[in-house]
Structure formats: C-alpha cells, structure tokens
Amino acid sequence: MRLLVSPMNVEEARAALFGGADILDVKNPKEGSLGANFPWAIREVANLASGRVPISATIGDLDYKPGTSSLAALGAAVSGADYIKAGLLGIKTMQQAEEMLNAIVKAVKDLDLDKKVVAAAYSDYQRVNSISPLILPEIAKRTGADVVMVDTAIKDGRSTFDFLHQIDLRNFIDSAHSNELEVAIAGTLGFQHLELLKRLQPDIIGVRGIVCGGDRRSSIKAELVKKLKMALV
C-alpha cells in the first residue's frame, strides 16, 4: 500500500516528504473534504518534490457542473499534478457521474495521457445525498478514469469504516481491480484501522488527520508520517 498524505502548503509537504509519504496530495481542508487549493500551491509542492514522488491535487467536492469541473481539472494538471482528484459530492445519478467524469478525463488526457484521474465518492453518501461509491468502479472504467477512491464527506470524527462494512469495501476493491483500476481508501483513518486496511490491501490509503495528531486543522508532523509508514509495513 502506498501512503498518500494531504498537505495544505509547501511546509506541510516538506514534513510529509521527510516522513516518507509516497504521494503528496495538495488540498485545502478549509473548502471541504476534497477542497481545492490554489494553482501556485500545487506548483510549489511539485517543485519541492522534483519528481521524487507523484503529486496529487483535489479539485473540490463538486456539484453537477461538467464544464466548471473540466476547467478545474485542467488547471490542476497544468499546475503540476500527476493525479487529479474529483469529489462527486453533488452527483445524484450514474448519468451525471458519467458526464462529469467524461469531461474531466478529456480535459486531463488531452493535455497529458500519463496523468491520472481519480474519481472519488463518499462512504457517508446517504447522509449527504450523493451516489454510492460501490457503483463507481463501473462508471470509472467506462469514462477512462484511472483510480477510484472512497472518502468521508463530513469530517466529524466518524470514519469510512463507520459507514461501509468490510464486505462492502472488499467488493469495492475487487470490482475496481477487475476493471483494471487502482483503489484508494481514505476518510478519517486511524491507527486502529491499520490491521483491517492490511487485510483489504487497497493500492493507496489517504490520510491527513492521523498525521496531524488527530486534528486535520492542525499541521502535518513528519514523525507521525514516519510512524504510520512504518506501521504499514
């Protein structure tokens, strides 16, 4: 499993990199679970990494706006992101999800075929009236996305494992792999979830709060990244 850590700025990115993060995921928690950061913030982190690790960037917890979303995706890609992550928060149907992802994938892949699109849905989808992540692998495969991800929309201390059963997550991972997609699991993960994650074996686990000392509004600490990285071995 690769460890994706989500810094807000270049100082946090430096701590995450020093701690051993495999992917730096630039986001802005002030704007939501997958809040988008500024183009210059993505550029600064990409310059810091200098190709040592891939750069991911979130483009927001998105409403059903394919045009706006495709422009945001292109902006993140041009700014240096290798993975462009779209949160499908305001998406209600499979048709809307396909239209959104088709637009995002086209914007990114027309620029650079090597860049990857991450389609993210939410484990707490029922309480935010969004689509179930369990249907995401099929949609992602049809639209040409590369990675499917599950996260929590509302950051209130409850984790992905409070909303999706282990069997659901196993099916999500198996469905993604059978469709030749990578899988990322995130959503208020704690050290208490590591054994279960080791059993599930997603390709990527995404964190912020756990490496900020439990409060995602605090700062990333290199020693906690290192502790988590060692615990995943």
227 as an active site residue: the answer is no
For 106, other C-beta atoms within 10 Å of its C-beta total: 17
Selecting among 30, 85, 198, 227, the annotated active-site residue is 85
User: Rounded to whole angstroms, how far apart are CA atoms 84 and 51?
Assistant: 16
Tell me whether strands 147-151 and 116-122 are parallel, antiparallel or unpaired.
Answer: parallel
pLDDT of residue 214: 81
Mean pLDDT of the chain: 97
Taking the C-alpha atoms of residue 75 and residue 90, their distance in angstroms, rounded to an integer, is 21
Residue 62 above 90 pLDDT?
yes
Cβ 86 vs Cβ 108: under 8 Å: no
% of the chain with per-residue pLDDT over 90: 97
Residues with Cβ within 8 Å of 179's Cβ and at least 6 positions away in sequence, in order, are: 137, 138, 140, 141
Q: Which of 27, 109, 115, 116 is catalytic?
A: 27
Whether pLDDT at 186 is above 90 = yes
Would you say residue 19 has pLDDT above 90? yes
Residue 229 among the catalytic residues? no
Q: How far apart are CA 53 and CA 23, in angstroms?
A: 6
The tokens describing 202, both together, are: 């997603």
**Integer CA distances (angstroms), 131 to 87, 182, 210, in order:** 11, 19, 26
| Residue 233's pLDDT band (cuts 50, 70, 90) | confident
The per-residue pLDDT for range 92-150, each reduced to its tens digit, is: 999 999 999 999 999 999 999 999 999 999 999 999 999 999 999 999 999 999 999 99
Give ∠ CA 150-39-157 in degrees, rounded to 5: 35
Which domains are assigned to the chain? 2-231 (3.20.20.380)
Instruction: Output phi, psi for 4, to 5 deg.
Output: -100, 125
